[in-house]
A and B are shown apart, each in its own frame.
Chain A
Amino acid sequence: MSFTEIVFYAFSAIMVVAALGVISARNPVHSALSLVLTFFATAAIWMLLEAEFLAITLVLVYVGAVMVLFLFVVMMLDINITQMRAGFMRFLPFGILVALILAVQMILVVGPANFGLDVAGFASPVEHAADYSNTKELGRVLYTDYVFPFEIAAVILLVAIVAAISLTMRRRPQTKYQTPGKQVMVKKEDRLRIIKMQTEEKQ
């Protein structure tokens, strides 16, 4: 077994176990953390395919940002697990049955034989030369062949921002903000009022 194979099987095993953890963990925080581990193992496997840009981006975006916010929400919601799991055992046999049938059907339809992959085993992808840069290749394709979908994807993200802000931002009149600019511009006349008055007689 070569080093690559060991790495592949190790990370695949981690990935499968972690993915199982996502759906079977009793605590939603544990589920979310298992999902993080799944992403991490996936990134490692992509690395083996020489897709280092995608792998690192997966870690950067999903592990570093998306899942952090996800955990954030899960921790704040404090989901009641016992309620959610009520009836779990009762439906378990039925669920397993459905899952088995689905799995068998999927294997029949999308098994390797239908893609012509069972002929001589899986051919491993061709290895690239040392100066091959996955990042550069992706960038070139993205900005030439796929520039139109790329731009549309950018617009989708823009719409997501607009939607999120328009749905959540409320200007509350009672909230008070400091405006440092105004604070600095304050002059004596704005705050101080000098009144001339007679000295009071002593009684």
Chain B
Amino acid sequence: MIESMMSFVMPIWEWLPMWIQVLVTNVFFIVIIMVPLMLSVAYVTYAERKIIGYMQVRIGPNRVGPRGWLQPIADAVKLMFKEIIIPTNSNRFLFLFAPMLSMGPALAAWAVIPFADNIQLADVNAGLLYILAMTSMGVYGVIIAGWASNSKYAMLGALRSAAQVVAYEIAMGFALVGVLMAGGSLNLGDIIDKQAGGFFNWFWLPLLPLMVVYFISGVAETNRAPFDVAEGESEIVAGFHVDYSGMAFAVFFLAEYANIIMIAALTSLLFFGGWMSPFGSYADVPLLGNGFHWFVIKTMFFIYMFLWIRATFPRYRYDQIMRLGWKVFIPVTIVWIFVEAVMAVMQIGPWAV
């Protein structure tokens, strides 16, 4: 049955021009990555409400479906049926374009993430740089949303967010410079290969300050608490997306959570060995050896960290955010890169090239 179908399909497939073949295969792989990602986003929102609920000694959503498991689906359905209100005198095209602009880069960055050994959509040489470039573009969605809404609150939120993202991007970039120096490559696969050999061979140990800076900058980049002044509801209502409703708002929401998963995944890739097993010597044993599940577990842990941080810390004041970014993180990263360079030249410790 399958064979007869294959013999029917294959000639058609081969008859198609090359570029259509390329296109179709790539779209297929993109869908394979996107669908689970979107599902994860949905359930991260559920996890967030549930976890923060428990931390605050509440129960969290528990009405829709068993233990509230269908809550995200219900939310999605509700948002889809809501009307998208477009404010008067707003820029209609840009207003609707902004959510897409913040969604696009958040998804595009997943193209170069290695999920397991040699399993990734595109093996780009400069993968690390690509990710940095893509995440840096996410800020456009925020700025344009703020401007196109034709509202003072939205504009203020957009300006705050843009300044914050640009500031923390520098610290983030420097932290990544440290990673690429340790890994000796911009290719994510190579960086993970360099971390082979168990928990204490991962980069988190030699690059501890950079790891801390990277993760906190990641929290700031995604505009999450305690760095969520862009939507600080006590001051500027909801910041840049105050005028958005329905699906347009939902897309912003999706992008934010996709970015959280992205940062968590990157932290596990760059500093915690990605799909490498923490038990280096048990590599042959199933489940204890390297594999996709380790990547998932680590990523989930860092997503949990995001929620934990949100439940724990009060919001920063805006000038303190700027101070932290420019005057603390950037010097720390520069000093550590310098230390790393000296160590590499002197052939000391884990940095020896």
How far, in whole Å, are A9 and B186 apart by their CA atoms in the complex? 29
Which residues of B in the span 132-189 have a Cβ within 8 Å of any Cβ on A?
132-133, 136-137, 139-140, 143-144, 147, 155, 159, 162-163, 165-166, 169, 186
Partner among A56, A63, A69, A134 whose Cβ is within 8 Å of the Cβ of B166 = A69
Instruction: Indicate whether A24 reaches chain B with its CB closer than 8 angstroms.
Output: no
Q: Given contacts A3-B18, A6-B19, A56-B126, is CB(A72)–CB(B162) below 8 Å?
A: yes
Instruction: Indicate whether A68 reaches chain B with its CB closer than 8 angstroms.
Output: yes
How far, in whole Å, are A52 and B187 apart by their CA atoms in the complex? 12
Give, as a whole number of angstroms, the nearest-CB distance from B157 to chain A. Answer: 13
Give, as a whole number of angstroms, the nearest-CB distance from A185 to chain B. Answer: 18
Q: Mark A73-85, 1 if CB is under 8 A from B, else 0.
A: 0011000000000
Q: Mark A25-63, 1 if CB is under 8 A from B, else 0.
A: 001010001001000000000000000110011011001
How far, in whole Å, are A29 and B245 apart by their CA atoms in the complex? 24
Instruction: Indicate whether B90 reaches chain A with its CB closer than 8 angstroms.
Output: no
Residues of B within 8 A of A6 (CB): 19
How far, in whole Å, are A29 and B91 apart by their CA atoms in the complex? 11
The answer on a CB contact under 8 Å between A64 and B18 is no
Interface size counted on chain B using CB atoms at 8 A: 27
Number of A-B contacts defined by CB within 8 Å: 70
Instruction: Indicate whether B322 reaches chain A with its CB closer than 8 angstroms.
Output: no
Query: For residue A177, which residue of chain B has the nearest CB?
Result: B319
Instruction: Indicate whether B347 reaches chain A with its CB closer than 8 angstroms.
Output: no
The answer on a CB contact under 8 Å between B22 and A60 is no
How far, in whole Å, are A72 and B18 apart by their CA atoms in the complex? 43
How far, in whole Å, are A107 and B211 apart by their CA atoms in the complex? 54
How far, in whole Å, are A3 and B132 apart by their CA atoms in the complex? 27
Interface size counted on chain A using CB atoms at 8 A: 25
Q: Given contacts A52-B124, A52-B126, is CB(A68)–CB(B133) below 8 Å?
A: no
Q: Given contacts A33-B144, A56-B126, A134-B125, is CB(A3)–CB(B136) below 8 Å?
A: no
Instruction: Indicate whether A105 reaches chain B with its CB closer than 8 angstroms.
Output: no
Query: For residue A36, which residue of chain B has the nearest CB?
Result: B140
Residues of A within 8 A of B143 (CB): 68, 71-72, 75
The answer on a CB contact under 8 Å between B166 and A65 is yes
Residues of B within 8 A of A33 (CB): 94, 144
Instruction: Indicate whether A199 reaches chain B with its CB closer than 8 angstroms.
Output: no
Give, as a whole number of angstroms, the nearest-CB distance from B144 to chain A. Answer: 7
The answer on a CB contact under 8 Å between A2 and B19 is yes
Q: Given contacts A3-B22, A33-B144, A72-B159, is CB(A65)–CB(B126) below 8 Å?
A: no
Residues of A within 8 A of B22 (CB): 3
The answer on a CB contact under 8 Å between B144 and A56 is no
Instruction: Indicate whether B130 reaches chain A with its CB closer than 8 angstroms.
Output: yes
Give, as a whole number of angstroms, the nearest-CB distance from A114 to chain B. Answer: 35
Give, as a whole number of angstroms, the nearest-CB distance from A158 to chain B. Answer: 14
Query: For residue A65, which residue of chain B has the nearest CB?
Result: B166
Query: For residue A76, which residue of chain B has the nearest CB?
Result: B159
Residues of A within 8 A of B136 (CB): 59-60, 63-65
Instruction: Indicate whether B116 reaches chain A with its CB closer than 8 angstroms.
Output: no
Further 10 A-B residue pairs, CB within 8 A, beyond A33-B94, A56-B129, A59-B137: A3-B18, A36-B140, A53-B129, A56-B126, A60-B129, A68-B139, A68-B162, A68-B165, A75-B147, A135-B186
Can you list 6 A-B pairs, Cβ within 8 angstroms, ordered by A? Answer: A52-B124, A64-B133, A71-B147, A71-B162, A75-B155, A135-B126
